[in-house]
Amino acid sequence: MVDPIKVYPSKPAKVYFYGTCLVDMFYPDAGIAGVELLEREGIEVLFPQDQTCCGQPAYTSGYHDQARSVAKAQLDLFPGDWPIVVPSGSCGGMIRKHYPDLFKDTPDEVKAAEVAGRVWELTDFLLNVCHIKLEDLGEPTTVAMHTSCSARREMGVAEVGPKLLGQLKNVNLVEQIRPEECCGFGGTFAVRHPEISGAMVSEKVDTLVDTGAKEFVTTDCGCLMNIAGYAEKNQKPVSGQHILSFLWARTQGKGGQ
Amino acid sequence: MSETAEHTGHHIDVKQFHPRAQAAIHNPKIRKNFRSAMDGLMSKRKTAFEGWDLETLRDLGANVRLRALANLPDLLEQLEKKLTENGIKVHWAVDGDEACRIVRDICKARDAKTVIKGKSMVSEEMELNHYLEEQGIEALESDLGEYIVQLADETPSHIIMPAIHKNTGEISQLLHDKTGTDLSNDVEYLTASARLQLREKFMNADVGVSGVNFAVAETGTLCLVENEGNGRMTTTVPKCHIAVTGIEKVVPSMEDVSALLALLTRSATGQHITTYFNMISGPRKAEELDGPEEVHLVLVDNGRSSIYQDDELLDTLRCIRCGACMNHCPVYTRVGGHAYGTTYPGPIGKILMPHLIGLDEGRHLPSASSLCGACGEVCPVKIPIPDLLVRLRQESVDGDKLHPAKVRGHGAKRSSMEAMIWKGWAWMHASPGIYRFGTGAASKFRVLQPSKAGAWTDYRTAPKLAAKTLHQRMKERGQ
């Protein structure tokens, strides 16, 4: 469940950047865009090179021993007390919400809870901690947005993306029907139950196409590879990118570094 | 379910979830019926809670249920005492078969030949209709949806709306074939026709069987929520009324009912209140003209006690059977209720059924979810359904040495191949140097990336490896 009350920290001098494995291998541009946006806000970005994966794939598959061993390898990466920002609601939710359960009654219980408490989804951090002001330098365009289920329900940031996009004066944000419905990714769900996942993503793509937008943005790379991958394979007229890539591209070149 | 399975009923292999789900997905009529019905139910629920502080109400609902469950043994004893004082005879059944035998014995003692039934999911658990038929007792469903499902020789596809998988045309055809009703698309006409058929049955039935929504311990009252009046007829017209329910349905007092009722009807059908709310507190008194001469309550365990033993799984028993989790479930909406092959379909079924049938039989249920969390978000008593799904996934592969699995049939899904893959995965991801080497090499040789990646690429293109990993790019930036 979402924390009942979120207490945002004041804007820090530094943050730890937890890139996530999908961004690392498939969407590093989204990660770099996030870093650029943070740096433009005057924040120093620390990137622990020993980071790998939050452990979620094993966790949701039921292999908790393996999830714990991978998660344990992440716990020592953030020795300072700076916030930890994550360009994903899903991986953020894994650490923030599930690490405390995963390490309950283990010697790492306290550390896991401490790390979990410092985790922020990156767009939420930009809007509500950095109080970012975006100046749109792009041509007029229309986009739709898909907020991941974990960003919406575990990290409670459903309102953040639309607010950030709302700051961009040349961007017309349109809403698809059933915006809160899952795109069908669900990690290993997509390969364990391919037909169900396929039925879900096909409807998601149809609703996005119906908005008339040629492009959608999303908070999570899992949803991105699912939705955009389906649209590409089935030649649907919509493409996607991570919201951080979009925000950076729209505002590039402005602001003091 | 028990050591001696006495009756057969519908034999559905729960393990065949995949082929059933696949068939449903490729059936446009099923897809359309469920999509439009679920869209309607979601929108009605949303409207019904407008102006309410829903989170506070859900907290209240959760707390009412938690408090009741915390005192469950005492409350059940109090309930039995009060019901007995009120003249209601209480029976205890360890499983569905025993509950069936209890109902049979009551019927036999009255030489009953016909039973009329109000809607009861616990009687579905028991497969009571088939059992009674085998015993030479006619059992007729009187809830319109249940009546339709019974005529079609099917099982309910939804716990609140049993015939939701059928559209008006299909129902009209069914009524025409089975009862001679004229074909019509006029819902009023079809309903009136069914009502006419049922009215006579009510008058002649020897016994009425109903479910219970809330059993109030303090007053010994059985509460029954319904819209069609068939529940009231079932519980008042025949000379004998037998209520069947799960042991978790007890609440301490009438005060507790108000919060749960407010949540139940709005969550289920988007109604502020149902047309009927029955409070049954005993058989007909000497000076009264109406009501049954005998009232019985059969309290069914059927796996609930074992759920009760575990602090986390216990939350499963909070459920008040509103069906909101299935109405909001993107998987249920795609595959429909019958694909699950279980008495309770959808998210609540996935966390409840493994306890009733064993996690070996129900091994595919917990994984059939994207863990989107919609079910947990709408649950009126805040059952953390996604967390319980993850718990059952862990149990189904014996995946946590710190928390050894407990549920009957655990470990049935564990394969040595999959376990080995996860071990290898964990070794790589717990070793940063190896991870960087592996991901770096994958990027470098990305032209060799296959364009097909199992089931993923049946529907989508494969994600493309980047030329350089984020690790490499950050290192180049000196970070």
Q: For B364-388, write each residue's pLDDT tens digit.
A: 999 999 999 999 999 999 999 999 9
Cβ burial, residue B431 (10 Å; 0-12/13-18/19+): middle
Region B422-431: mean pLDDT is 97
The rounded distance, in Å, linking the Cα atoms of B281 and B297 is: 11
Domain ranges of chain B: 54-305, 432-476
Cβ contacts (< 8 Å) between B423 and chain A: which residues?
A: 66
Residues paired with B209 in a beta bridge: B117, B242
In a domain, A8, yes or no: no
**Strand-strand pairing, B250-251 and B214-216:** parallel
The rounded distance, in Å, linking the Cα atoms of B406 and B422 is: 22
Nearest to A196 among B25, B377, B429 (CB): B25
In a domain, A159, yes or no: yes
Cβ contacts (< 8 Å) between A15 and chain B: which residues?
A: none
Checking if the pLDDT of A253 tops 70, the result is no
In a domain, A135, yes or no: no
For the record, the structure tokens of A34 come out as 């996030």
Same domain, A45 and A73: yes
Checking if the pLDDT of A1 tops 80, the result is no
The rounded distance, in Å, linking the Cα atoms of B426 and A58 is: 8
The rounded distance, in Å, linking the Cα atoms of B258 and B263 is: 9
Checking if the pLDDT of B1 tops 60, the result is no
Cβ distance B181 to B265 under 8 Å?
Answer: no
Residues paired with B241 in a beta bridge: B208, B295
pLDDT of residue B209: 98
Q: For A130-149, write each residue's pLDDT tens digit.
A: 999 999 999 999 999 999 99
Q: Which residues contact A188 (CB under 8 A, 6 or more apart)?
A: A57, A60, A61
The model's pTM = 0.96
Region A61-65: mean pLDDT is 98
Q: Three-class SS of residue B91?
A: strand
Q: Mean pLDDT lowest for which of A25-34, B5-14, B151-160, B282-291?
A: B5-14
Q: For A94-137, write each residue's pLDDT tens digit.
A: 999 999 999 999 999 999 999 999 999 999 999 999 999 999 99
pLDDT of residue B454: 87
Same domain, A108 and A19: yes
List phi, psi (to 5°) of B294: -130, 140
List phi, psi (to 5°) of B214: -140, 130
Query: CATH no. for residue A201?
Result: 3.40.50.1860
Residues paired with A84 in a beta bridge: A16, A119
In the block, which residue shows the tokens 């061993």? A69
Same domain, A36 and A95: yes
Q: Give the total residue count for chain A.
A: 257
Q: CA of B22 to nearest chain A CA: how many angstroms apart?
A: 6
Determine the residue among B43, B372, B401, B451 to mutate to test chain A binding: the one whose Cβ has the most chain A Cβ atoms within 10 Å: B372
In a domain, A209, yes or no: yes
Q: What is the mean pLDDT of chain B?
A: 95
Number of domains into which chain A is organized = 2
In a domain, A188, yes or no: yes
Q: Give the total residue count for chain B.
A: 479
pLDDT band, residue A81 (cuts 50/70/90)? very high
Beta carbons within 10 angstroms of residue B228's beta carbon: 21
pLDDT band, residue B5 (cuts 50/70/90)? very low
For the record, the structure tokens of A30 come out as 């989204």
Q: CA of B168 to nearest chain A CA: how many angstroms apart?
A: 25
Q: For B66-77, write each residue's pLDDT tens digit.
A: 999 999 999 999
* Concatenated DSSP letters of B343-373: SS-HHHHHHHHHHHH-TTTTTTTTTS-----
Superfamily of domain B54-305: NagB/RpiA/CoA transferase-like (3.40.50.10420)
pLDDT of residue A2: 47
Nearest to B25 among A28, A45, A195 (CB): A195
3-state secondary structure B203-268: HHCCEEEECCCEEECCCCEEEEEECCCHHHHHHHCCCEEEEEEEHHHEECCHHHHHHHHHHHHHHH
Checking if the pLDDT of B449 tops 90, the result is no
pLDDT of residue B10: 55
pLDDT band, residue B451 (cuts 50/70/90)? confident
Q: For B128-152, write each residue's pLDDT tens digit.
A: 999 999 999 999 999 999 999 999 9
The rounded distance, in Å, linking the Cα atoms of B29 and B23 is: 11
pLDDT band, residue A4 (cuts 50/70/90)? low
In a domain, A7, yes or no: no
Same domain, A222 and A150: yes
B461 in reach of chain A (CB within 8 A): yes
Identity of the amino acid at A37 = L
Same domain, A152 and A52: no
ipTM attached to this prediction:
0.96
Q: Which residues contact B187 (CB under 8 A, 6 or more apart)?
A: B168
pLDDT of residue B276: 97
Checking if the pLDDT of B3 tops 80, the result is no
Q: For B193-229, write each residue's pLDDT tens digit.
A: 999 999 999 999 999 999 999 999 999 999 999 999 9
In a domain, A247, yes or no: yes
Checking if the pLDDT of A222 tops 50, the result is yes
Nearest to A28 among B370, B394, B473 (CB): B473
Q: Three-class SS of residue B22?
A: helix
pLDDT of residue B9: 47
**Strand-strand pairing, B221-226 and B214-216:** antiparallel
Cβ contacts (< 8 Å) between B390 and chain A: which residues?
A: 59-60, 62
- Residue A70's domain comprises 14-128
pLDDT of residue A159: 97
Checking if the pLDDT of A5 tops 80, the result is no
A76 in reach of chain B (CB within 8 A): no
pLDDT band, residue A160 (cuts 50/70/90)? very high
Percent of chain B with pLDDT over 70: 98
pLDDT band, residue A228 (cuts 50/70/90)? very high
pLDDT of residue A215: 98
Answer yes or no: do A149 and B331 touch at CB < 8 A: no
Same domain, A120 and A21: yes
Q: What b-and-e string marks burial along B401-419, b requiring 16 or more CB atoms within 10 Å of the CB?
A: eeeebebbbbebbbeeeeb
Q: For B270-297, write each residue's pLDDT tens digit.
A: 999 999 999 999 999 999 988 999 999 9
CA B383 to chain centre: 13
The rounded distance, in Å, linking the Cα atoms of B208 and B223 is: 15
Same domain, A25 and A119: yes
Identity of the amino acid at B35 = R
Same domain, A155 and A94: no
Same domain, A123 and A152: no
Nearest to A154 among B22, B369, B373 (CB): B373
pLDDT band, residue B4 (cuts 50/70/90)? very low
The rounded distance, in Å, linking the Cα atoms of A145 and A175 is: 7
Q: What is the mean pLDDT of chain A?
A: 95
Q: Three-class SS of residue A12?
A: coil
pLDDT band, residue A46 (cuts 50/70/90)? very high
Given A128, A163, A182, the domain boundary residue is A128
pLDDT of residue B453: 85
The rounded distance, in Å, linking the Cα atoms of B439 and A25 is: 7
Beta carbons within 10 angstroms of residue B113's beta carbon: 13
Checking if the pLDDT of B109 tops 90, the result is yes
Q: For A193-207, write each residue's pLDDT tens digit.
A: 999 999 999 999 999
Checking if the pLDDT of B168 tops 50, the result is yes
The rounded distance, in Å, linking the Cα atoms of A22 and B94 is: 49
Same domain, A195 and A92: no
Cβ distance B91 to B297 under 8 Å?
Answer: yes
